[in-house]
Amino acid sequence: MSSFFQRLRWPDYLIVAVLLTFAGYIYFSIGGSLNYVWRWHLIPNYIYSWHTTREEWFANLLLQGLAATIRISIYSSILALILGTILGIARCSANLTIRMLARTYLELLRNIPPVVVVFIFFFFLSQQLIDFLNLERWARGIARQDDIAVWEFFFGEMRRFPSLISGVIVLALFESAFVGEIVRAGIQSVPKGQREAAKSIGMSRFQELRYIVLPQAMKKVVPPMANQFITLIKDSSIISLISVQELTFKTVELVASSRLIFEAWITAAAFYFIICFSLSRVFARLEKGRKPK
């Protein structure tokens, strides 16, 4: 760290000073001209607070939202990985119809704004699926049971389970298109000689893919896949539009009820930033540690 400060010259200090002045000006002018009273001291309460009647600590709106965002991101990235791998394989298929279908799916998702895609998937697909599987009733049944700590740990509030599931599905379908492209690039990066060698020892197309091509392709796509996971966490804010109770949705709720407009949004931004930035650091370090083979 000391070497970092030693490398700074006087123009650097000048730039930092100007930036700080500007930030301070914005901060105070919000207080002045907009007549806004900063109430930062209230924010910790909305993260974690003391329940006076039940006499216990509980996770309040913002932390609930953060937990939901993490859950949704993990589940939908697993689902997106599965769907995306299938899609990537389909894109490289020998069958023209399969290739065209995969291509169509991809081009549709790439050229429609995410918000529109989310609404379409929500109304046309996940809602039907939830009605069809009768998930609402099943979840309410679970919610009425006594010992549901495990369920709540994995899925949050059980009454909200159907909404969580549709959020996960929508997000996974949306991201699968991009995961699919990454997988396709990985498959195509495996040299032709590998496929020929697999064929020459009598492997079927499936065995060739399963034992020779995919293991090599997947190893190559780990870095872009990690980036896509971070993108997915950020994209998860979109599904607040279909009332999935994740961080962005909870922040909107908090702003509406407490009018802590700036504080709440800055806190939400900080949460997203901390998660995404630390993940990207972790991935960068893992990438460095991976021995090139």
- Give me the residues that bind other proteins (CB under 8 A), please: 191, 193-194, 196-204, 207, 211-212, 215-216, 219, 293
Angle at CA 67, nearest 5°, toward 54 and 40? 70
Closer residue to other proteins, CB minimum distance, 207 or 258: 207
Residue with smaller CB distance to other proteins, 189 or 243? 189
Cβ proximity to other proteins: between 141 and 191 the closer is 191
Long-range contacts formed by 225-229: CB under 8 A, 24+ apart = 225/81, 225/179, 225/182, 226/279, 226/280, 226/283, 226/287, 227/280, 227/283, 228/175, 228/178, 228/179, 228/182, 229/73, 229/77, 229/279
Quote the tokens at residue 12: 């650097």
Least separation, in Å, of the C-beta of 293 and other proteins?
6
Q: Please list, in sequence order, all residues whose beta carbon lies within 8 angstroms of the beta carbon of residue 269, skipping any fewer than 6 positions away.
A: none
Closest approach, Cβ 287 to other proteins, in A, equals 18
Closer residue to other proteins (CB): 128 or 194: 194
Give the residue among 187, 189, 175, 168 at the shortest CA–CA distance from 90: 187
Q: How far is the CB of 96 from other proteins (least distance, A)?
A: 16
Q: How far is the CB of 100 from other proteins (least distance, A)?
A: 22
Smallest gap from residue 176 Cβ to other proteins (A): 25
Quick check: 177 and 110 in contact, CB under 8 A?
Answer: yes
Min dist. Cβ of residue 220 to other proteins (A): 10
Q: Measured from the CB of residue 210, what is the shortest distance to other proteins in angstroms?
A: 9
Of the pair 208, 263, the CB lying nearest other proteins is at: 208
CB 281 within 8 A of CB 290: no
Residue 31 or 215 with smaller CB distance to other proteins: 215
Task: Look up residue 83 and give its amino acid.
Answer: L
DSSP structure class, residue 245: -
CA 170 to chain centre: 12
| CB nearer to other proteins: pick between 170 and 212 | 212
Whole-angstrom distance, CA of residue 119 vs CA of residue 135:
20
| Phi, psi values for residue 34, rounded to 5° | -85, -5
Torsion sign (Cα): 246, 248, 253, 259 = positive
